[in-house]
Chains A and B, each alone.
Chain A
Amino acid sequence: MGFFSLAFLASWRFRIVLIFLEVPRYILTRVGGSFPRRSVLIETIQRAGRQAFSLIEHAFDAAFGPRINPLYHLGALSFFFFWVAAASGIYVYVFFETSIDGAYRSVEYLTHTQWYVGGVARSLHRYASDAMVISVLLHLAREFVLDRYRGVRWYAWLTGVILLWFLYASGIGGYWLVWDRLAQYIAVVTTEWFDWLPIFAEPIARNFLNSTSVNDRFFSLLVFMHIGFPLFLLLGMWIHILRISRAKTNPPRLIMIGTSLALTALSLVYPALSQGPADLDTLVSRVQPDWFYLAMYPLIDLWSPGAVWAIAGGGTLLLMLLPWLPRRREEPAAVVDLANCNGCGRCFADCPYSAVILQPRRDGLPFESQAVVEPDLCTACGICVGACPTATPFRRVSDLVPGIDMPSLTTRDMRSHILTATAALAGTDRIMVFGCRTGPDLASLREPGIATLALPCLAALPPSFIDFVISRRHADGVLFAGCIAGDCYQRLGVEWTEQRLAGQRDPYLRGRVPRERLATAWAGPAGATTLVREIAAFRARLRAMGPYRRGSTPSPAAPPSHPPEDHDVSYRLG
């Protein structure tokens, strides 16, 4: 339970931040009449960004397949790079000497004398840190263009933006420790940058005027900071994922192996090198900065420290404000109906956003717990409804209120929509297509023989609906058209759907539902052509199968040669 209390502590803290962030919006509302609901500029950038990303993603999909496409695991990859940097950093630290003379010498020893371990560790430390900058920035850009930063997801966005500062502080601090010409450059420019702020009584740059002003104790402080910032970064990364359940902090194993091999190969071929010892009595004229961390540094000299503060500070503030420019209103949150909830906990287990929790029962019924929805965390994905055992279309319509339901598309609405949409279908290749908000567009499927229903997420469909459609012969087959398999908009929808269909996760799709009458097309928003192709192939298969007959797929217990006429003998009781 400690996890939850900490989650609440974090949300309480950030609600204060939120109040401050609401101020400009409030003012704009007062001054400018109504605050715009949409921003054309942001939507244009997002559209362009989505196209750019989908180009690269398709290339990676073709190369690796969607399930181990690193672009779908950027957050988890960032965690992985952190751990690589941490492990290699600990090794380097063992041999590092915290003194002016020792620092450079000890790093040189690692790189040249102990190149086979120490040198590799140093290079891994650098390249993993660089890779982390890339994965973090891509992660940020991708969540932005996919519109996964507003609404309920503001928390992860805001904490993530703050983490950028910790990431840069960690990286830049590391360069300083090597105490080579680049470190000297960083020391001078960083202090110059900070001296611009009116926080130090006397300029700290004075410390780096000549070689006598820097002492060994200063290196102890630097080491302390280079351990402290990454620790804060890690703490922040943990806070960053607090509000989602089952956060993926490890990329798929194949990605980890591939990335480790690539980093190691890079370390051996292009080992990280120092750029000559620092000498404060001479001025650094030429350095080769690490552009991943030091892209802004030349600007401090070129323009002015104030300009760079304005860019960095203003940029951060703008990024922090983005979720409210404008803010997204989620659909109404899930609603619990206690008369239909016995506290079984399946919705709690499946919610990707920790928006459903179990609390002690309060209505006097002898159950231990009840589901409670935290509306501030709910994205209205409906995955909880898909998990609820009472959300089944076989119930009598008058009573069809499940333990948890979505006001925007109730279980009763789903049922009546399916009945209406399938009523007009004819033939032996009638299909019911279920789609999701971020899957292929269903509007283009205006063909006879196809009925469609768009859901907020495919995992919002309780599996007994599939049984209902097929066993009641409302359609001959059911097709799921969803997100790209490795990249579910609602985080866990694809995974849960596949596991439920396979009978590996509650609620199971009934074993006796013939699986050949079921098809999935994880095609993503750009997959309209794939979908049309899949549908044509699926319908051809259905035509070949003929109409659905009960017992046409014998359960594993029954011999395959079982005559269909006797299908019901094997399970009748009495």
Chain B
Amino acid sequence: MSLIDWDEKYSVGVAAVDHEHRELIGLVNEAHDRLMRPGGEKAVMEFLGEIFARISAHFALEEQIMRARNYDHYDEHKTDHERLLDEIRDMMDDYEDGESFSEELLAQQLQAWFAGHFRSHDARLRQNLT
């Protein structure tokens, strides 16, 4: 079972950004699969690290595109990116430090976190990028 399914409504209309979104969804789903499998806890940390690296690169690219197109809400969006990076790092630290860790909670957090990123791609950004 996938945690997140690609939906056309996620499309931003920029091939590179959409491509990375698909890849990220794949990675999140893979992490989720491992998490749900018994004994997968060790691999999860590494998956989270990969997701963190990918999303960092993804945001870097989005920011470059936004700057290149003089997107007028750049600063807001950049702040949002930094907040989302903070959140995934917190999930990683929670997982690393947490004694009472629950798989369901992490899955829930990941899903919410990812949805949060898409919410940040509101109609305004989509219009600006296409």
> Do the beta carbons of A343 and B109 come within 8 Å of each other?
no
Docked-complex contact B50 and A365, CB < 8 angstroms: no
Please measure, in the bound complex, the distance between the C-alpha atom of A573 and the C-alpha atom of B108, giving whole angstroms. Answer: 8
B71 at the interface (CB under 8 A from A): no
| Interchain CB contact under 8 A, A395 and B86 | no
The CA of A511 and the CA of B113, in the complex, are separated in Å by 18
Contact partners of A510 in chain B: CB under 8 A: 85-86, 89
Query: Which residue of A has the minimal Cβ distance to B54?
Result: A390
**B4 is an interface residue with CB less than 8 A from chain A:** no
**Does the CB pair B112–A396 fall under 8 Å?**
no
A510 to B112, CA, bound (A): 21
A394 contacts B52, CB within 8 Å?
Answer: yes
Contact: A574 with B112, CB < 8 Å? Answer: yes
Q: Does B77 contact A (CB under 8 A)?
A: no
A403 on the B face (CB < 8 A): yes
Given A392-B56, A510-B86, A342 and B16 contact (CB-CB distance below 8 Å): yes
Q: Is the CB of A389 within 8 A of B53?
A: yes
CA distance A511 to B84 in the complex (A): 12
Contact A568-B94, Cβ < 8 Å, known A392-B52, A511-B82: yes
Task: Give 1 or 0 for each of A501-513: 1 = CB within 8 Å of chain B CB.
Answer: 0010011101110
Interface size on A, residues (CB 8 A): 37
Chain A, Cβ-Cβ closest to B98: A568
The answer to whether B49 and A396 have CB atoms under 8 Å apart is yes
A265: shortest Cβ distance to chain B, in Å?
45
Asked if B9 is at the interface of the complex by the 8 Å CB criterion, the answer is no
Over the window 82-103 of chain B, the binary record of Cβ atoms lying under 8 Å from chain A Cβ atoms (1 yes, 0 no) is 1001110110111011000000
- In the assembled complex, B75 has its CB within 8 A of some CB on chain A: no
Task: Looking at the assembled complex, report how far the CB atom of A402 sits from the nearest CB atom of chain B, in whole angstroms.
Answer: 8
| Assembly CA distance A395 to B47 (angstroms) | 8
CB distance B63 to A395 under 8 Å?
no
Neighbouring B residues of A281 by C-beta, 8 Å:
none
Q: Which residues of the partner chain A approach B112 to less than 8 Å between Cβ atoms?
A: 573-574
Q: Bound state CA distance, A503 and B58, in angstroms? A: 18
**With A343-B61, A506-B60 in contact, do A392 and B16 touch (Cβ < 8 Å)?**
no
Instruction: Verify if B72 is at the interface (C-beta below 8 Å from A).
Output: no
Distance of A403 Cα from B92 Cα, bound (Å): 22
A506 to B67, CA, bound (A): 13
Closest to A570 in B: B90
Q: Are B16 and A368 within 8 A (Cβ)?
A: yes
Assess whether A344 is in contact with B60, with CB atoms less than 8 Å apart. Answer: yes
| Cβ-defined contact, B108 with A574, below 8 A | yes
**B57 near A: Cβ within 8 Å?**
yes
Give Cα distance in the complex from A429 to B54, angstroms.
33
Contacting residues, chain A, for B93 (C-beta < 8 A):
471, 550
| B90 near A399: Cβ-Cβ < 8 Å | no
- With A366-B19, A571-B86 as known contacts, state yes or no: A389 contacts B109, CB within 8 Å: no
Q: Is A277 part of the contact surface with B, judged by Cβ < 8 Å?
A: no
CB atoms of B20 and A342 under 8 A apart = yes
Taking the closest CB of chain B, its distance from the CB of A250, in whole angstroms, is 25
Q: Counting CB contacts under 8 A, is A472 at the interface?
A: yes
Docked CA distance A392–B52 (Å): 9
**Residues in chain A near residue B20, CB distance under 8 A:** 342
Please state if A392 and B49 are interface contacts (CB–CB under 8 Å). Answer: yes
Are B63 and A506 in contact (CB-based, < 8 A)?
yes
CA distance A95 to B26 in the complex (A): 75
A394→B16 contact, CB < 8 A: no
B124 to chain A, nearest CB (A): 22
A367 interface residue (CB < 8 Å to B) = yes
Residue from B15, B92, B108 in contact with A366 in the complex, judged by beta carbons closer than 8 Å:
B15
Given the contacts A344-B61, A394-B49, A572 and B96 also touching, CB distance less than 8 Å: no
In the complex, chain B residues whose CB is within 8 Å of the CB of A340:
57
B41 adjacent to chain A (CB < 8 Å): no
Question: For the complex, what is the distance from the CA of A574 to the CA of B86, rounded to whole Å?
Answer: 16
Say yes or no: B52 contacts A573, CB within 8 Å: no
Tell me if B89 and A365 are in contact (CB < 8 A).
Answer: no
Does B46 interact with chain A (Cβ within 8 Å)?
A: yes
Asked if B19 contacts A573 (CB within 8 A), the reply is no
A346 contacts B by Cβ under 8 Å: yes
Q: Is B2 an interface residue when CB atoms closer than 8 A count as contact? A: no
Question: Please, which residues of chain A bring their CB within 8 A of the CB of B87?
Answer: 571, 573
Chain B residues near A568 (CB, 8 Å)? 90, 94
Q: Give the shortest distance, in Å, between B27 (CB) and chain A (any CB).
A: 11
User: Cβ of A472: which chain B residues have Cβ within 8 Å of it?
Assistant: 96
Binary per-residue interface labels of chain A (386-429) against chain B in the complex, 1 for a CB within 8 Å, 0 otherwise = 00011010111101000100000000000000000000000000
Taking the complex as formed, is B59 at the interface, i.e. its CB lies under 8 A from any CB of chain A? yes
In chain B between 18 and 61, which residues have their CB closer than 8 angstroms to a CB of chain A?
Answer: 18-20, 46-50, 52-54, 56-61
Interface 1/0 per residue, A560-573 and B, CB below 8 Å: 00000000100111
CB-CB nearest in chain B for A367: B16
State which residues 523-574 of A face B: CB under 8 Å. 550, 555, 568, 571-574
Q: Tell yes or no: B116 within 8 A of A by CB.
A: yes
Q: Does B64 contact A (CB under 8 A)?
A: yes
A467 within 8 A of B: yes
In the bound complex, do residue A344 and residue B47 qualify as a contact, i.e. CB atoms below 8 Å apart? no
- Taking a contact as CB atoms under 8 Å apart, the answer to whether A512 and B86 are in contact is yes
Question: B50: which of A342, A395, A471 is its contact (CB, 8 Å)?
Answer: A395
- Least CB distance, A183 to chain B, in whole angstroms: 55
B58 touches A342 (CB 8 A): yes
Is B49 within 8 A of A344, CB to CB? no
Residue contact B61 to A342, C-beta cutoff 8 Å: yes
**Binary flags per residue of A336-377, CB closer than 8 Å to B gives 1, else 0:** 000010111110000000000000000001111000000000
Given contact pairs A392-B49, A394-B49, A506-B63, A342 touches B57 in the complex (Cβ within 8 A): yes
Q: Which of A396, A503, A512 has the most CB of B within 10 A?
A: A396
B16–A366 CB distance below 8 A: yes
Q: Which residue on chain B has the smallest CB distance to residue A343?
A: B61
Query: Which of A's residues lie within 8 Å of B, judged by CB?
Result: 340, 342-346, 365-368, 389-390, 392, 394-397, 399, 403, 464, 467, 471-472, 503, 506-508, 510-512, 550, 555, 568, 571-574
Provide a sorted-by-A list of 19 A–B residue pairs whose CB atoms are within 8 angstroms. Answer: A342-B57, A342-B58, A343-B16, A344-B60, A344-B64, A346-B60, A367-B19, A390-B53, A392-B56, A395-B52, A464-B56, A507-B56, A507-B60, A512-B90, A568-B94, A573-B87, A573-B108, A574-B105, A574-B112
Known: A467-B89, A572-B109. 6 other contacts (CB 8 A): A340-B57, A366-B18, A395-B46, A395-B53, A396-B46, A574-B112
